[in-house]
Amino acid sequence: MPVWKTELRGDGLVLQITPRELNLADTLDCGQSFRFRRLETGEFEGVAFGQVLRLTQTADEILFHGIGRKEFEQYWSSYFDLPADYEGVKSSYAGDETLRTAAEFAGGIRLLRQERFETLISFLISQNNNIPRIKGCIEKLCRAFGEPVTGEWYAFPTPERLASLSREALAGLSLGYRDSYLIDCARRVADGRLDLDAVDRMELGAAREALRTVQGVGPKVAECVLLFGFHKLAAFPVDTWMRKVLANYYPRGFPEQYRETAGIAQQYLFHYIRKCGEASTPRG
């Protein structure tokens, strides 16, 4: 288990970590999270746990603005999955040239431990959609139905709040036909038909089945929610980019030996093919 050095400085907490170990740009903009934006200063700002977080990354540290030790330990250390040994995972990929290369390129990505309901709703919105628009939809949703935090920021709405809404109330958020999916999902969570704590305790197959009971949760959305919202590292979302990776490098299927951390491998491969693929388009 890695041990990260921290110190209090000025108004915040400094975490001694390199971009190779945690790369904020790659981690916050690789499609797992939609609520962080890059400021003109290069800093990142976003909301999680109903709190605004602002971060500054340099070559050897990350500054968590306005954060004390207690909040860091309670929320952010876990959020960025700091206790996990990613170096060990990357080492385990050494025998596979493609995975090794992707891990060297994208190894600063960590799997965020995001809030479950927010992740479920976010990936319902993500289907058949692109990242700028997904971010816009979620921002409008929070602004309309979430509690104000500070400044321009609003918390993610609760299941109860969304469960009380009609499709008409969601008009104007540009959700399209996904509006009824959100309502069905929120109602299931609010009335207990879908118990997210219970899903968290299930093994992968059962968790997958439970999530699939929600309208609009198909195979792709389910894998994303399992990986990004429930931290089930064996979940393996396959989209058009991953299909290309699999066709090119793993025509006989993704190797069984990496199944336990397939989700981490997926993130490395996904980022690598998008940024580095010789043909940086999934078509063809």
Stretch of 10-18, 68-76, 95-103, 174-182 lying at the interface with DNA (CB under 7 A): 174-182
Catalytic residue among 70, 90, 140, 220: 220
Binds DNA (CB under 7 A): choice among 18, 51, 101, 127: 127
Dist. CA 64–CA 158, nearest whole Å: 26
Taking CB under 7 A as the rule, does residue 215 contact DNA?
yes
Stretch of 99-107, 109-117, 151-159, 216-224 lying at the interface with DNA (CB under 7 A): 216-224
The answer to whether residue 220 is catalytic is yes
Stretch of 68-76, 88-96, 187-195, 214-222 lying at the interface with DNA (CB under 7 A): 214-222
**Shortest CB 236 distance to DNA, Å:** 13
Residues 30-89 close enough to bind DNA by CB under 7 A: none
Taking CB under 7 A as the rule, does residue 132 contact DNA?
yes
Distance between start and end Cα atoms, the chain: 42
**Shortest CB 31 distance to DNA, Å:** 9
Stretch of 75-83, 127-135, 140-148, 196-204 lying at the interface with DNA (CB under 7 A): 127-135
Total residues at the site for DNA (CB under 7 A)?
26
Contacts of residue 70, defined as CB under 8 A and 6 or more positions apart, other chains included, come to none
Taking CB under 7 A as the rule, does residue 121 contact DNA?
no
Taking CB under 7 A as the rule, does residue 97 contact DNA?
no
Closer to DNA by Cβ: residue 92 or 127? 127
Taking CB under 7 A as the rule, does residue 128 contact DNA?
yes
Binds DNA (CB under 7 A): choice among 42, 83, 88, 219: 219
Contacts of residue 168, defined as CB under 8 A and 6 or more positions apart, other chains included, come to none
> Which residues form the interface with DNA (CB under 7 A)?
126-133, 174, 176-177, 212, 215-222, 239-240, 280-283
Residues involved in catalysis: 220
